[in-house]
Structure 1
Amino acid sequence: MQSNKLRMAIRSTAAVAILGVAAQANAISFETGGYQTDIYGYGRLNASYDIDSNQALSTRSGSYDGLVNNDDAADGHFGADAFQSRIGLKTVTPEGVTVNVEGDFRGGGGGSLRLRHAYGEYNGVLMGQTWSNFTSFVGNTSTLDFDSLPGLAGYQGRVAQARYTTGPLSFSLEDPQNSLLDPTGASTDTKDGLPAITARLQDSQGGLSYSAAILAHQVGYDTGTEDESSMGFATFGALKMALSDMITIQGTLSYTDGANSFLYRSGDNFGAASAYVDPASGDVETISGYGGSVGAGFNLGGGRSINVGYGMVEVDWDDAEDDGVAVGDQSESNSAVMANYQWTPVKNVMMGVEYQFLKRENVSGDDGDASRLLFAAQYNF
């Protein structure tokens, strides 16, 4: 009995950690001609007050861009939008084929429809766009910030892919997400010669849920006369444990070498450069990085919860500096601390407030930080 309670607690907190995913149980469901169809989504207001410099992106998420040397920046910025709102349709055919199409309104800087998911799946074979297989929500702490903490497990985004899942194992070939820093100009001819290859294990045992994955991809360029590339890889682990029916703890660890595109929030906002072109030799040299997050959730009962979390990433630019590449304005470390209170006054309605503290330090040693307050109200259907 206790094992079942722990498992249910873990699953429920994992669902809250990906608050942006509308629960299928809340969907509008109907059956026509043997097709089981769900229409689901939510309307959501996000509001932010930047106590220090204005760090708000669309959906009022916190940005690391412009955070350095912000002491003299204008402070006290308020903003609100509903761009995170979304709608989706999922249908299962009489033959057992699942088709899912979903969008939100964060496209084009906010307000335009953006494709999130568009895929079909049958007998464990998935084709289309959905969450990268090099992603896990198991170790995520629930945040109101749509983009959440640095150092979460994997890409934390959606890509076009072909995936096969059998039990707790899944394998995929995915659209590559390369980024090449190049002082010679060759990066204008960046070439994706291979898909990204991933493998992931995700399962639960008793009171513990866990996930681990590995990714390999090629990063390089081809000018027509010069063709250089290197292989990069990334790996992560994620855990969540229910200490009781009221308390969960969770965390993630990540390491990359030549695949910082998949090191979450390691650059100005998301991935840092995965490699650089050596100005002397023209070789593609990989850049390594690491990150992690830790958090806890407290279920207070009556639809109320408190969540606290910390995340950080660090990128190693030493080799690039030694080779004469100008990287002083590149982010060496990003970190965030957050705490929030969430309340569900009635089924399918969530409201919450959150405090964030963001910090960034560049390779040059210049740094900056900012405090923010967030509010969210979400109505699911």
Structure 2
Amino acid sequence: MPLLRRVFALFLWMLLGSTWPAHADVANAPGANLQVTVITYGPGDTYWERFGHIAIELRDSQDGEAISFNYGVFDFDEKGFLLNFARGRMHYLMDAEPTAVDTGWYVQAGRSITRQRLAFTPEQAAALRDFLLWNLRPENARYDYDYYVDNCSTRVRDALDKALGGILKTALAARPGSMTYRQQTDRLMSAQPWLMLLLDLGLGPYADHPLSGWQEAFIPMALQRELRAVQVPDGHGGHSPLVIEERQVSPNRVQAPPPQAPDLRGPMALAGAALAMLLVIARRRVPLLFVLLAVTWLVLAGLAGLLMLGLWTLTSHHSAWANANLLLFNPLAFVLIPAIWRSRRGVATPRRVDGLLMLQLLAGLLAIVLHLLPGVVQQNQPWLLLALPAWLALAWSLRSACHVPR
């Protein structure tokens, strides 16, 4: 069933339930009968599952009916889905289904399931229920997805905060987060190293700003952690924990992400030094190998530059804008390929190629200066350590081309 029809069918079913006098369900149960639980699902094996998932469960304590509401549904059949995805204009949907159906898939997939029952008053529980049912309507279910600021976890966070009267945001915004967007991305994607490196390369300075606990709750597991420390009025002039019960109902059976982001500086520095040495040695001894290595580097650098430039100028992926890595990898690399090919015969580089090489080295120097300036937050040290030795070795090799024996 198409997703919009599925959402509409469930919403209609819940509304019709209110016309059955012998059956008290979540849609029309009094607030005193509603139990509010946050269900957090751990990361999965597939790359789009590495950030985990989260949902709000409303349970009618009278008859045990439990409905799980989540904001993580997208429709591949949507017109222009792939183009919208590439441009950063993704449309996601809210969905709801019986909790047993929702959790069954995660159990089978081996992903952990943790339940946190929350201390909502009857009025707050009813307000949350009314908001979720309103949000579930077909005309309200779709929203513009953003990886970091508007996703399945931030929508759950905002719905809880709305029902709690702003208590959640006040508490979480006052606490510093443990990592930046970049660090969380690298940590969670570390099981897929090449994809992690591609994402890290494409992230601009936006991804390196310090986060509050409120902002870091874009990660379901971070929101789960933050909820444990929130206090709410107990109705007697004091405060009590928002989470009144937490238990893991299904263990994790897939590879868990590391607690910290990997430090890429060492490996990337070694890779940059190794590539530079290979370029220098091959230029002297195996010209054909030098050509293959250099052309591969230039093609990859040019493609990376086109990708970053496109993300900045043609898409709504604001986390990729103003990326300083464009100074290290840019489309000008393509212009150097003919000179590399001619260098195998010891032909001196044309004056314009010398100018391009000098321009690229100055761009690398500018990237270092920008990184050292106070107030510049982009953490691109790994890419500086990779790119600069390679560009220096390439420049030296081309400048010395006319002195290489044929």
Q: Which has the higher helix share?
A: 2
TM-score w.r.t. the length of structure 2 is 0.23
Q: Which has the higher strand share?
A: 1
Structure exhibiting the larger radius of gyration computed from Cα positions: 2
